[in-house]
Structure 1
Amino acid sequence: MLIFSVLGALEINVPGKKIEISGELQRTLLQTLLVGEGESVSSEALMRRMWGESMWDVQPNTLYAHISRLRRRLRALEPERTEPRLTVHPSGYRLALAEGELDATEFVRKINSVEAGKFHSPGDSVRLLREALAMWRGPAFGDAARTPACRRAAVRYEAYRLRALELLFGAELENGNHATILAELYETHLAHPLHERYCELLMIAFYRSGRQADALEIYRRMWRRLADELGVRPSPQLQRTEQAILSHDPALDHPAVPPDASAPSAPWTRCPVLS
């Protein structure tokens, strides 16, 4: 069984070792096929996914030669496999992928399971979300997300990663772990300063940690940033959270974190200090 990893630089894992695919075009071809997550793709569509409008400058024989080379390489990695991993048929090409063989598909499946509310306790959600986020080794496809299809897929997977963090921090707060995740949540907010949900969750974490002034300062900074960079005001939800903090609304002390929550946490010892 091969495990294909694209949440970071491309890797193929076989039991006990990692395999590199040599040659930039071979790696590009494999990554583009992986983007399809097991679907069949025609020659023209595959070339368009790899080269975009520049596909007309590429000889079809170039693709065929690299398809043949990749088929041989994959077959050598799985000598006991009865069916070819990469099949060629009249409608095009298909890279067969069973459940669990592509890390990005598994990642998305885990996030969707939490989002669908399949877990009864926030602790179970946290465990699955941390497992999912631990699958990331760097930006999707690493530095090789050059093809149009890989760039689009990288954006999609990154959106899922950001959503996973929202769900994770919401579930951690629902578990009462506001002090434990404070530094982690603060760093995530700094990395995504215009992401209002991270800001809201950080405000709640500060407030529950007895740091109302820091919670309000985070809000003021967000207000200025949104006004200066986007020319907009904070969302009604974020404004309501600020008012709840100002009025010491008892609802803020309740484990539930509106509007969306689900999800123990990695130990963080540093506590951020606003200055």
Structure 2
Amino acid sequence: MDFKVLGSTKLPIIHQAFLKAFSDYQVQVDLSLSDFQIMMKRRGFAPEISLGAFSNSAHEPIGFILNGLRPWDGKLTAYDTGTGVIPVYRKQGITSGLFEQVLKVLARQNVEQYLLEVLQDNTAAFKLYYNQGFRVTRTFSVYQLNKITNPLNLTANDLELIPQIASEDWKALEAFWDFKPSWQNSVRSIHAVAEEFTCAVLRRNTKLIGYGIVGKATGDVPQLAVCQEYRRQGIATQILAALMQNTKSNILSFINVDDTSQSTRAFLERMGSENVGGQYEMVLTLS
């Protein structure tokens, strides 16, 4: 068994290994190569700190750890975008071997912490990460909203649809947050694939008071927030209606809603969203 950095492995090969490894995952994974490329770009995929397990002279990995790399909470952070082993090769210590080797790679790159998310009902993966030293930092819920069965036929005269939010506006918008977005929903992740999203912003007398972002094709909603002083005026509902109208998907997905934000959860449930699962955010301190 050889463990190799994936810097020279082409993305289509990694994609095929990814599909095989997640073929029996609790959540259906059926990503085209194009969608996989978008996901990797969004999450900051860094092949130079990602690792594959190769059997003999095989050119396709039988197991892998795919990592992103960015600053997070003021520290250089690796983010596990996906760890998997093809089913027939499991229970051979491959995942443990990958982790042992990838930690050496991260140390050479002066990475300070390692971040990941794991499904709450994936007890085997949670135990593996916990035994490696990861600890839970937050718990998340995942919501889905069917726009066919829960339509919102609203309009707002002062609502604007824009391709992306200007850099100078983000500082003001961050003050609207009840919780910090997870890695895949962060500002950096949105900017990485800005062309995949539509943004809806609401202003009062030129002042930004609320915004939402939706995947044009996927219905993924990474962020939706309203200024504290303008809440309970139907603004979030108006923005949500605009997001519904500007995605091709019939399902809007709210992935990684922080469980401490009772107001966000209550709003989504009031709109008819269904809680379909949960995740743990976990961090391993490296230096």
What is the TM-score of this pair, normalised by structure 2?
0.27
Which is richer in strand? 2
What is the TM-score of this pair, normalised by structure 1?
0.28
Which is richer in helix? 1
